[in-house]
Amino acid sequence: MKIEGKRSIWKDYQKEIATDRFFYVRSCVRQNFFPGSEKTFLRIMKDVLHKDVFENAAHTTCSGIGYHSDVVPFETAMTMVARQFSIMTESGYENFTTSCITSFGLYSEILETWHHFPEVEERVRQHLLNATGRTFLKPANLSHASDVFFKFRREIAENSTYRLVNRHTGQPLQVVEHIGCHYSKMFPSKGVGGAEYPYVLAGMIEDWGGEVIDYPERRHCCGFGFRQYLVQANRGYSLACSKKKFDSMAPYKPDFILTNCPGCPMFLDRWQYALSEMEGITYGANGLGIPVLTYEELAGMLLGYDPWDIGLQVHQVPVEPLLDKIGIPYDSRRKFLTMDGQLMGQPEPPSHLKFYQHE
Amino acid sequence: MAKNFGYKILPGESIDFDRNDKLIARYLVEHEPSINLCIGCGSCTATCSTGHFTDFNIRRMHTFILRGETKHIKKEIQKCMFCGKCQLVCPRGVNLRNVILTINRAIEHLG
Amino acid sequence: MNRQVAVIGAGITGMTAAGALSELGIDVILLEKEEHTGGHVKNWDRLFPSRRPAKEVLDFTGKSMATGVDIRCGSAVESIGHNKGIFTIRPVKGEPVNAMSVVLATGYDLFDARKKEEYGYGIYDNVITSAELETIFSEGKKLTTHQGTTPQRIGIIHCVGSRDEKVGNLYCSKVCCVTGVKQAIEIREMLPGCEVFSFYMDLRMYDRNFEELYFEAQQKWGVSFIRGRLSECAENPDHSLVLKTEDTLTGRPLKMTVDMMILLVGFVPSPETVRIARMLGLSSGPDGFLLPADEHFHDNTTTIPGLFLAGAVKGPACIVNSMADARATAMQVKSYLNGEMLK
């Protein structure tokens, strides 16, 4: 592997990312999947990077999940998105930042469509006006929230307490980065680093002290793929996709997987449990799984936030081995306590996948 | 009552181009002419998410359609997940997502 | 300095044209931007389909120039213009040249394989180009993987940068198919234990003895041909490579691990060709290669009297065709200088 080769490709895919005054839109599903992530994003943006990030409660789904599941037509999706833009315009912002990769993909697709077919944009404007009386300006800058952390990755590193280094060996942690398909596979120029060798997460890993693993099935989908999972009859397909990736990455002994999509961490995490129950396979060392993190969780961890405040207890694959490797302290007794100290319930131990015992 | 000789007239297995119904093929070529650019290199199928776990083969499917072999396409085409990777790799610039949409529309309009 | 003819570019085309002109008794200067003559051919070991050493062809052509061609290496053209039938060329070094006629033989470059990002050239250690393989052959080295082992299986990838709308090159580069067949044979010759798989879309064995070479590759050397274009390549932990393609003849996706991958890189117009054409206002086709005055009747002349095109400036061409074209151009130049320009 020649890293210079990748660097020369990365140079060709630089995108403009706004530096302040972000209109932030949340994902439909992330707060169920990994509830601490978006909160941690906002916390870091405000407390560490001192940025103006604005949210508007009138924001709804962009309908991307319905669009990609074949239940929402493009025409409807465009009008929904036009409404989000009008809310941004009303709020006095012009830098649109999405938490969700599929939203990011859909916004990119729609802006691209309008760019090539201005008559479609006009029609959508008319639809929105007829239905809601709203008008809008298009965003001056569209970025995914991981683009924003990529942009400020060095500032985050400077403020961090920990680095991606194994404290026992002093070696950099080996990290699998997994990019959501809708980030740049549709429009390579809209993603940091392009579609074949995206740099958005790799850049964070490098600057935060780790090393990136490039394994044969790196480009493959995590297995969510909407219809693959949403239709129960297709779930074997979803599982097979994830398995293909785990089988391919396992020989590299990754310390963890880093993701930037709502679905990927969910499926890469939960399917490790399903695979262990169905086939008795585990992919980490000694019967453990490979922890899966969102980039917000990772940034929060390195900044020294309490692991339970950023939501690491809801992971199916325990994250404690990774915390121990880095040397991040945590209180095991508080793992399943709510913010006000109540027991939130505790999962049953899996049959094969090991729960972690603090060393 | 037909006589039973203990054997049947075997159905032909060859593609009978003259007899086959090419309505869908014509609709496809008319509405997405880029399909004619295909040289059968298989880049689309090689990268197809669906094709890796099912017997779906987008190259074979549209080739069958162009030959008028449309018996199974209604079921076949439902397997596509519309991810568009085929289109990203096509060396001839065939608009494959629209090929799928157009075939769907053709099935709807023409049965 | 005044000369009858200036030939720009000392690849096999320019050398052949200059040699032929000199043998016709014409006073000719040959300008080459690099330090040596020989162009791409000097980097090649043996030539298809006969596998004659490339050196023999260069030596022969070099001899034809020995008696009278004024060869100036390291003399890239800084500017070129024409006025009343006289061309003025300013090389980066040496004095300006005035000539009655100019032969443009600035040829082609090999496609930059890094542009096919998904193939991993320049990133994965064991991905090399056909030109790099040829260098290994001509230096007499043993073919090994990047980590120094003997490869057990090699994949040869056809049409890299050719017939590919995604990199903007719709045209066929013509010589890669047979080069791939030749190199497959040479790999088997050197490493009898190494399997060779060629991944192709179509095999264009258009010229004399090409089809026979393909037959030999299959019959005598056991080279396997899989009809499917490479969709992507990735690296295994041991630095071997995973290739993904459709095996179109079975209709199923296929995955194969190889120790090395050879990319058959195609032709693109050389930057010198593009730059000089721009200075002269010459027109090019959609493929970027230069257009002669007429594809059938005036295929060496241009709209500028006295300015001639030879070889791969007009599109992908093999050595035999480039040399024939160069000799034809020399005859046309002589006619032009005699005032008997072929109509």
CATH number for A256: 3.40.50.11810
Residue C341: the pLDDT is: 64
Topology of domain C113-266, per CATH? FAD/NAD(P)-binding domain (3.50.50)
A240 & A123 share domain:
no
Dist. CA A318–CA A286, nearest whole Å: 13
Residue A270: domain span = 159-334
Could you give phi then psi for residue A267, rounded to 5 degrees? Answer: -80, -40
Domain annotation covers residue A276 = yes
Chain A CB contacts of C237 under 8 Å are: 215, 251-252
Highest mean pLDDT among A239-243, A302-306, B20-24: A302-306
Domain annotation covers residue A41 = yes
Give Cα A281 distance to the centre of its chain.
Answer: 25
What percentage of chain B reaches a pLDDT higher than 90? Answer: 50
Dist. CA C319–CA C336, nearest whole Å: 25
A177 & A244 share domain:
yes
Domain annotation covers residue A12 = no
Chain A CB contacts of C115 under 8 Å are: none
Among A102, A118, A145, give the residue marking a domain's end. A145
Nearest CA in chain C to A1: C124
Mean pLDDT of B27-38: 92
Residues A12-44 have pLDDT tens digits of 899 999 999 999 999 999 999 999 999 999 999
Beta bridge partners of C267: C110
A191 & A292 share domain:
yes
Residue A69: the pLDDT is: 86
Dist. CA C328–CA C343, nearest whole Å: 14
Domain annotation covers residue A219 = yes
Low pLDDT (below 70) residues in chain C: 341-343
Q: Which residue pairs, CB below 8 angstroms and at least 24 apart, start in A49-52? A: A49/A152, A49/A155, A49/A156, A51/A20, A51/A21, A51/A22, A52/A20, A52/A21, A52/A22
Residues B65-91 have pLDDT tens digits of 988 888 889 999 988 888 888 998 999
A110 & A209 share domain:
no
Q: C152, C238 in Cβ contact below 8 A?
A: no
A179 & A299 share domain:
yes
Nearest CA in chain A to B87: A186
Residue A359: the pLDDT is: 46
Residues A236-254 have pLDDT tens digits of 888 999 999 999 999 999 9
Q: Is the peptide bond before A254 cis (omega within 30 degrees of 0)?
A: no
Mean pLDDT of A175-188: 94
Domain annotation covers residue A205 = yes
Mean pLDDT of A210-235: 88
Residue B16: the pLDDT is: 82
Identify the residue among B36, B43, B62 best suited for mutation to test binding to C, counting C beta carbons within 10 A and taking the highest: B43
A103 & A140 share domain:
yes
If pLDDT is split at 50, 70 and 90, which confidence band does B21 have? confident
Residues in chain C, how many?
343
Assess whether pLDDT exceeds 70 at residue A125.
yes
Domain annotation covers residue A356 = no
Identify the residue among C116, C171, C242, C248 best suited for mutation to test binding to B, counting B beta carbons within 10 A and taking the highest: C248
Nearest CA in chain C to A248: C236
A172 & A307 share domain:
yes
Mean pLDDT of B20-38: 92
Residues A320-339 have pLDDT tens digits of 999 999 999 999 999 999 88
Q: Which two tokens stand for residue A104?
A: 């990011």
Q: Which of C337, C342, C329, C340 is nearest to C18 (CA)?
A: C329
Check A70 against B82: CB less than 8 A apart: yes
First to last CA, chain B: 33
A203 & A97 share domain:
no
Residues in chain B, how many?
111
Average pLDDT, chain A: 94
Residue A353: the pLDDT is: 82
Among A97, A121, A145, give the residue marking a domain's end. A145
Q: Which two tokens stand for residue A214?
A: 């490039």
A57 & A176 share domain:
no
Check B43 against C159: CB less than 8 A apart: no
Domain annotation covers residue A78 = yes
If pLDDT is split at 50, 70 and 90, which confidence band does B50 have? confident
Check B88 against A181: CB less than 8 A apart: no
Nearest CA in chain C to B53: C253
Chain A CB contacts of C166 under 8 Å are: none
If pLDDT is split at 50, 70 and 90, which confidence band does B1 have? low
- In this complex, the residue of B53, B83, B84 whose CB is nearest that of residue A240 is B53
Instruction: Tell me the CATH number of domain C2-107+270-337, given options 3.50.50.60, 3.30.450.40, 3.40.50.300, 1.20.120.1200.
Output: 3.50.50.60
The residue ranges of DSSP E strands in chain A, in sequence order, are: 22-25, 53-54, 95-98, 141-144, 174-178, 211-213, 256-259, 292-294
Q: What is the CA radius of gyration of chain A?
A: 20
Domain annotation covers residue A93 = yes
How far is the alpha carbon of A192 from chain B, nearest alpha carbon, in Å?
A: 18
If pLDDT is split at 50, 70 and 90, which confidence band does A286 have? confident
Element housing A332 (H / E):
none
Check A181 against B84: CB less than 8 A apart: no
Among A116, A145, A174, give the residue marking a domain's end. A145
Residues A332, A336, A339, A342, CA torsion sign: negative
Count up the domains in chain A and report the number: 2
Q: Which residues of A289-301 are buried (b: 16+ CB within 10 A; e: fewer)?
A: bbbbbbbbbbbbb
A75 & A175 share domain:
no
Residue A357: the pLDDT is: 59
- In this complex, the residue of B52, B81, B84 whose CB is nearest that of residue A227 is B81
- In this complex, the residue of C117, C123, C242 whose CB is nearest that of residue A216 is C242
Q: DSSP labels for A17-81?
A: ---S-EEEE--SSHHHHSTHHHHHHHHIIIIIS---EE--TT----SHHHHTTTSS-HHHHHHHH
